[in-house]
Amino acid sequence: MSSGILDKLRQWWQSLGSSQKVLFTASCAGILVTMALLGQMLLRPAYAPLFTELEPQNAAKVIEQLESLQTPYRLTNNGKTIEVPKDQVYKLRIQMASAGALYTNGAGFELFDEKKFGITEFEQHVGYQRALQEELRRTIVQLSEVEQARVHLVLPRESVFLDEQVTPSASIALKLKPFAKLEPNQVEGIQSLVMGSVQGLSPDNIHIIDMQGNVLNDAMKSGDDGLLSASTLQSLGIKRQYEKEMESRLQQMLNRILGPGRAVAMVSADMDFDREETVRTEFGPGSVLSEQTVTEDGSGGAGNGGIPGMDSEMPGTTMPLADQGMGAGSNYNREERTTNYQVDTTQQTLVKAPGTIRRLSVSVVVDGQYTQDQLDSIQRVIASAMGYDATRGDQLTVSGIEFNEAAVPSFEDTPVTTAATPLDKQLLIPGAVAGALLILLIAFFLFRRRARRRREMMLRQKAEEEALRRAAEEAKQPKEEIVIEEPQPGYRTLIKEIAREKPSDVVEILKVWLKE
């Protein structure tokens, strides 16, 4: 059976043309190469970063440890990143830490793990300063935005003389990661960390800079000035954010009306960031809580005088009418009414939130010359969109000016070039090979289909030629004349007589004929 298969394969190979043989051979070679590359990629272990953003001296020590452990590795990112097999990452990190290859920029408080005899006070002071600097550096680089850090401390020695005392200070240099930025609260956190780690250190003596020389904690001073600066920066940020949002909304509307790049809108907002608290007290009509009425009635005495020194001669003991000469039998009365009211009191406290709009100023410039009616229409639309309030003192101007075409950005699609990642570079060659293999397979199937059609056409042409040859041979042979005998007139009469005499037999014969 194997010999039969080999014979068929040999016949099929011989039936192919020279170009088809070359194409088939190239396709097989491409398939084998692709299978080899894919097998290598699948069998190769997956790599993961062991350490990133390493300094050259640190990378050299890590590589030395990996080579001593006979662990495969590869370098990426210009030698700053070391990758190892993914299943060994955590194990190797522990081994690197135990070997002392992780933190080689300096030693922290592990400097004091070894006891040294005969050390001087000055050496001990310098060692403490070095250890504290390294510990602070290790803490600061844990921030996701910080790549490297350097900490310099000035720790004066204690003195019993007041005029010889020096205040401590600290300087920190930060190397941030690409496109990273520290927020003000993060800078304040670094400043608080250093201030809490050094005794007697004040915020004024802490200086934090980046690799461009920018002072990051300039606005964070001690006292009310620092709070005022932080509040001012926050207010300016809120103001600018509001202006940008308003400009973006107006620009989107103008782009839909006039087209992209045909108008420019600028917004300036005057905002009130003062916090105002108002307390208002209102009094109602009130209601009667209690009421008291005292009524007194009386009559005059028998005479105007009395015994000297008695109560009747004391002031206020006689009625005025009696003093005026009224006789006995005079009457008097007194009525006193006291009413207590409950007053309704309403106290209202109003707190005005900071950030209210005092005044808005909007300027819009459109490209080209427009009529006054068109400019007025645009102005009305913008006034409605911005919330124009004349009583607030808002300003709005719309002008038509020809734009400088050289300064107008092009809105055509421009190709965007992006840097290829390491993963893209790894898949580039197998992808190219797979694409070439796919093209070869498509071409092979097209040629095979064309060859099959050509073979069918040749077979059809040979069949037609064979049919023509046979027809020519038959034409050369003498033709036999076909003689059709006329039926004799007596047969029909005889058949009719038989059918009349034996109809059942005739029916059976007809059934047999129909079945046949």
pLDDT score for 248: 92
Assess whether pLDDT exceeds 70 at residue 229.
no
pLDDT score for 245: 92
Mean pLDDT calculated for residue range 142-171:
81
Using one digit for the tens of pLDDT, what is the confidence trace for 330-373?
677 888 888 887 777 888 888 877 878 889 999 999 988 888 88
CA dihedral 475, 477, 481, 482 (to 10 degrees): -80
DSSP state letter for 102: S
CA distance 155 to 168: 5
pLDDT score for 412: 47
Assess whether pLDDT exceeds 50 at residue 298.
yes
pLDDT score for 322: 46
Q: What is the DSSP track for 317-382?
A: SS-HHHHTT--TT-EEEEEEEEEEEE--EEEEEEEEPS-EEEEEEEEEEEES---HHHHHHHHHHH
Mean pLDDT calculated for residue range 54-69:
83
Residue among 53, 63, 57, 98 at smallest CA distance from 84: 63
List strand residue ranges (DSSP E) for 120-197, in order. 146-154, 169-176
Mean pLDDT calculated for residue range 451-459:
77
Higher pLDDT, 101 or 168: 168
Highest-pLDDT range among 29-43, 54-68, 211-225, 493-507: 54-68
Using one digit for the tens of pLDDT, what is the confidence trace for 66-86?
888 888 888 888 888 888 888
Assess whether pLDDT exceeds 50 at residue 459.
yes
Residue with tokens 């915020």: 203
CA distance 192 to 170: 12
Higher pLDDT, 128 or 468: 128
Mean pLDDT calculated for residue range 199-219:
85
DSSP state letter for 421: P
Mean pLDDT calculated for residue range 313-326:
51
pLDDT score for 409: 53
Using one digit for the tens of pLDDT, what is the confidence trace for 388-424?
888 988 999 998 888 877 655 554 444 444 444 444 5
Residue among 269, 261, 203, 198 at smallest CA distance from 240: 269
pLDDT score for 308: 56
pLDDT score for 163: 65
Higher pLDDT, 119 or 176: 176
CA contacts within 13 A on the Cβ side of 118: 0
CA distance 178 to 145: 9
| Class of residue 142 by CB neighbours under 10 A (exposed 0-12, middle 13-18, buried 19+) | exposed
**Helix or strand (DSSP H, E) at 514:** helix 503-515
The strand pairing partners of 126, in sequence order, are none
Instruction: For residue 402, give every residue at least 6 positions away whose Cβ sits within 8 Å of its Cβ, in sequence order, or none.
Output: 367, 368, 369
CA distance 2 to 8: 10
pTM over 0.85: no
Contact 362, 382 (CB under 8 A): yes
pLDDT score for 362: 92
Higher pLDDT, 110 or 229: 110
pLDDT score for 415: 44
The percentage of residues in the chain with a pLDDT greater than 90, rounded to a whole number, is 8
The percentage of residues in the chain with a pLDDT greater than 70, rounded to a whole number, is 78
Outline where 79-151 has alpha helix (H).
89-99, 121-140
Q: At what angle do helices 489-501 and 503-515 cross, to 10 degrees?
A: 110
CA dihedral 52, 56, 57, 58 (to 10 degrees): 0
pLDDT score for 411: 44
Mean pLDDT calculated for residue range 54-64:
82
Q: What's the gap between Cα 329 and its chain centre?
A: 106
Phi, psi of 249 (to 5 degrees): -65, -45
Residue among 206, 236, 214, 250 at smallest CA distance from 384: 250
Assess whether pLDDT exceeds 80 at residue 225.
no
Mean pLDDT calculated for residue range 452-468:
77
CA distance 513 to 491: 19
Q: Please, what is the average pLDDT of the chain?
A: 77
**Helix or strand (DSSP H, E) at 483:** none
